[in-house]
Structure 1
Amino acid sequence: MPITPANGASAETAAPSAPSGSADPIMLELVDEDGTTIGTAEKLSAHLAPGRLHRAFSVFLFDDRGRLLLQRRALGKYHSPGVWSNTCCGHPYPGEPPFVAAARRTGEELGVAPVLLREAGTVRYNHPDPASGLVEQEYNHLFAGLVRATPRPDPEEIGEIAFVTPDELEKLRDEGPFSAWFMTVLDAARPAVRELTGTAAGW
């Protein structure tokens, strides 16, 4: 299974990593059960138990062989450090369309732009993180796409990457921890993933 260490290269296509006034707290959109925006909250406060329902996104990128690009979250991250997860995930800025946020953050973290990126549904979940005590109460917009450029991960965000087949994913899940939300978002995105990769890929 090819695993690539993060190399510290900056993103080619990244938009600014924060709104103007980057020293200001990062704000998230709070939403109701239908995904309608009802306000904002500071990022960390929204994740403190019991958590506040907020908008998020998750990206699943595949290569031309139908392998999923995973990332292992950097050890310095305050939430779920050192665990494997999907290609990219995060939160739109208030008022930022989820698709735009997903493309922006993929560039910032991985230094690549997908050659294709499309909506793959939404999922709502409540996942506590046992290690940190933080809670993911999220209304998550899912995206699936293709990547052909070589990723250049930001080491502050990503410790390792790996392109995996379904069988290799199962082996990796037996060997090390994954994010609490990983299987929830993957299962919700599977119909779009199978349409994208073809049933022969096994997803």
Structure 2
Amino acid sequence: MPITSAKGRSADSDRRPEAADDAEPIMLELVDEDGRTIGTAEKVSAHIAPGRLHRAFSVFLFDDAGRLLLQRRALEKYHSPGVWSNTCCGHPYPAEPPFVAAARRTGEELGLAPALMREAGTVRYNHPDPASGLVEQEYNHLFVGTVAALPDPDPSEIAETAFVTPAELDALREKYPFSAWFMTVLDAARPAIREVTGDAAGW
């Protein structure tokens, strides 16, 4: 299971910055328990305990051997820094379709486009982050797909990447911390993952 460090690719200058003191505030969609939009909130404020329920997405991409692409979040991230997590996760801008947001952020963070990406349902969760004290209250749209190219990650977002089998994932989880939401979104996406990767991949 090779782990690849992010190199010196600079962030996409055309995208809105995720965090900067002089940047326009990043706004999220607030939703009700059924996923209906009820308003907006600034990104960090939506995560301050006890958290406000907001729209999010999680992406799981697999190579042609059925291995899952993981990322280790950059140490500079304001939330859950330095932990391993799924291929990509984030928040749509207000009124941005989750599928569009998922494809956009996959390109921005990992420098690649999925060969295939499909919807895999939704999951609602409440996960405090012990390290930061922030809380993930999310209505999360799940996406599963395949990728043919190697990632070229933005080092301001991602420290390392790895393609893993289920057994390698188990070993990695025993050795390193993962995001608080990782197993929740992985378990929710498993039916779609099995359809995409086939039984032999073992997911």
Q: TM-score, normalised by structure 1?
A: 0.95
Alpha-carbon shift at residue 15 of structure 1 (Å)? 9.2
CA contact (8 A) 1:70 1:85 kept: yes
Which residue pairs with 1:115 in the alignment?
Answer: 115
Alpha-carbon shift at residue 155 of structure 1 (Å)? 0.3
What is the identity, as a one-letter code, of the residue corresponding to 2:129?
Answer: D
Q: Deviation per CA, 1:77-99, whole angstroms, max 9, x where unpaired?
A: 01000000000000000000000
CA contact (8 A) 2:29 2:54 kept: yes
Which residue pairs with 2:165 in the alignment?
Answer: 165
Distance 1:155 1:168 in 2: 24
Distance 2:71 2:154 in 1: 11
Distance 1:181 1:103, change over 3 A: same
Q: Deviation per CA, 1:73-125, whole angstroms, max 9, x where unpaired?
A: 00000100000000000000000000000000000000000000000110000
Which residue pairs with 1:17 in the alignment?
Answer: 15
Distance 1:116 1:46 in 2: 31
Alpha-carbon shift at residue 10 of structure 1 (Å)? 4.7
User: How many correspondences in the alignment?
Assistant: 199
Which residue pairs with 1:199 in the alignment?
Answer: 199
Q: Deviation per CA, 1:42-71, whole angstroms, max 9, x where unpaired?
A: 000000000000000000000000000000
Moved over 6 A (4+): none
Distance 1:17 1:145, change over 3 A: same
Is 1:182 equivalent to 2:182 in the alignment? yes
CA contact (8 A) 1:56 1:141 kept: yes
Q: 3-state SS of the aligned residue for 1:9?
A: coil
What is the identity, as a one-letter code, of the residue corresponding to 2:132?
Answer: S
Q: 3-state SS of the aligned residue for 2:143?
A: strand
Alpha-carbon shift at residue 150 of structure 1 (Å)? 1.3
Identical amino acids, percent of aligned pairs? 82
Which residue pairs with 1:90 in the alignment?
Answer: 90
What is the identity, as a one-letter code, of the residue corresponding to 1:7?
Answer: K
Return 5+ residue gaps in structure 2 as ranges.
none
Which residue pairs with 1:152 in the alignment?
Answer: 152
CA contact (8 A) 1:9 1:111 kept: no
Return 5+ residue gaps in structure 1 as ranges.
none
What is the identity, as a one-letter code, of the residue corresponding to 1:190?
Answer: R
What is the identity, as a one-letter code, of the residue corresponding to 1:189?
Answer: A
Backbone CA RMSD of aligned residues:
1.4
Distance 1:90 1:140 in 2: 9
What is the identity, as a one-letter code, of the residue corresponding to 1:74?
Answer: A
Alpha-carbon shift at residue 8 of structure 1 (Å)? 2.4
**After the TM superposition, which residues 3-14 of structure 1 pair with which residues of structure 2 at under 5 Å, given as runs?**
3-10=3-10
Q: TM-score, normalised by structure 2?
A: 0.95
Q: 3-state SS of the aligned residue for 1:38?
A: strand
